[in-house]
Amino acid sequence: MLMTPGPTAVPEPVRDAMSRELINPDVDPRFREIYDRLTDRLATVYGVDPDADGDAARDVVALGGEGILGLEAAVASLVEPGTEVLCLSNGLYGEGFADFVESYGGEATLVAADHDEPLPLDALDEALAAEGSDFDLVTMVHCETPTGTLNDVGAALDRIEAADGELLTVVDAVSSLGGVAVPTDRIDVCLGASQKCFSAPPGLATAAVSDRAWAAMEARDPHSLYANFLPFRDVSDGFPYTHLTTEVVALDAALGLLLDEGLDAVRERHEAAATRCRERGAALGLETVPGPERSSPTVTAFEVPGRAEALQETLREEHDVILATGLGDGAEDILRVGHMGHNARVDRVEETMDALAAVL
């Protein structure tokens, strides 16, 4: 039983869809229909309208590549030598944005808190107001998956909008989108991926892009050919290269299931699974890294100092339950249960926590 915070278990109707006869994405008109339906469904899940007036419009795109491609494409499309980027962070993915920015020649200013702390909003205000600062872009992460932390992106956006209405924002919502509400209408580039709350296999990076972000990308004329959203802005004359047909079919089917259930019902299912996971953990004496207030409905990171790998291995060998350890420095101290997408079900959480209880 795969209960990691991505990739998540892929439900049977999605696997069935993937096993159908392969169609050629460049010559078969059926592929265009599937891609169009996929982007319609994605727009609904993102809560955006491509045809909205003015600043409210967001186009959605799905690129062939793992979620990281979306993070890199956002930076590659918006950063050139000298671009000043404020990277707001309280975790590994937040910090990782600074590495992307520097690898494309940008000037990254990392405004960071410890991994068990909230986003440093006062330091954000100070950095935005600092004399001589002239940021073009701010990056941040909604759910820091390695610590199971859901960040208050709305509060950060309030500060950014108050400081400078022209600032572009890039938000990694890879492990929250589809399980938790995301303020996508206030974000210029909002990133998602197929293998988290959508419960499709890894293989597609998704984004909702504002008109002013498109304009900034066009002005910069990105140098990367593959890590680039622009060729996907208008695909009415064809795709820039062969699309990952099976991944597109899978994500379309997965989003169909999600929307049949309804976004509110899906979010409630995530809340219920997360609450149960933490109740069971508390009964075992386990604490979560960010505490109850800031834990994400999509993933729980339990503190298990020095024991994560041993617990992971025993769970896998004796109970056939697959969990994740932490990432980076504290990897051995954190055991993570992914209750996202198809796995956000109380019965699956009960089975997982029964196994964890037995192993502990």
Ligand X SMILES: *Cc1c(COP(=O)(O)O)cnc(C)c1O
Residue 81, preceding peptide bond in cis (omega within 30° of 0): no
CB of 172 to ligand X, least distance (A): 5
Nearest residue (CB) to ligand X, 8 versus 34: 8
Query: Which residue type, as a one-letter code, is found at position 80?
Result: E
Nearest residue (CB) to ligand X, 57 versus 90: 90
CB of 290 to ligand X, least distance (A): 14
Nearest residue (CB) to ligand X, 17 versus 193: 193
Residues that bind ligand X (CB under 6 A): 6, 66-68, 93, 141, 143, 145, 172, 174-175, 193, 196
- What stretches of the chain show up as alpha helix (H) in DSSP? 12-18, 29-46, 67-78, 92-103, 121-129, 153-163, 211-220, 245-261, 263-283, 308-319, 346-359
Q: What is the 3-state secondary structure (H, E, C) of 216-273?
A: HHHHHCCCCCCCCCHHHCCCCCCCCCCCCHHHHHHHHHHHHHHHHHCHHHHHHHHHHH
CA atoms 131, 132, 134, 139: torsion sign: negative
CB of 219 to ligand X, least distance (A): 27
The DSSP symbol for 68 reads: H
Residue nearest ligand X, Cβ-based? 67
Nearest residue (CB) to ligand X, 13 versus 154: 154
CB of 97 to ligand X, least distance (A): 10
3-state secondary structure of 35: helix
CB of 347 to ligand X, least distance (A): 24
d(CA 240, CA 220): 19
Query: Which residue type, as a one-letter code, is found at position 235?
Result: V
Nearest residue (CB) to ligand X, 34 versus 200: 200
Kindly list the distances between the CA atom of residue 215 and the CA atoms of 140, 188, 219, in Å, as whole numbers in the listed order. 21, 11, 6
Nearest residue (CB) to ligand X, 127 versus 324: 324
CB of 75 to ligand X, least distance (A): 13
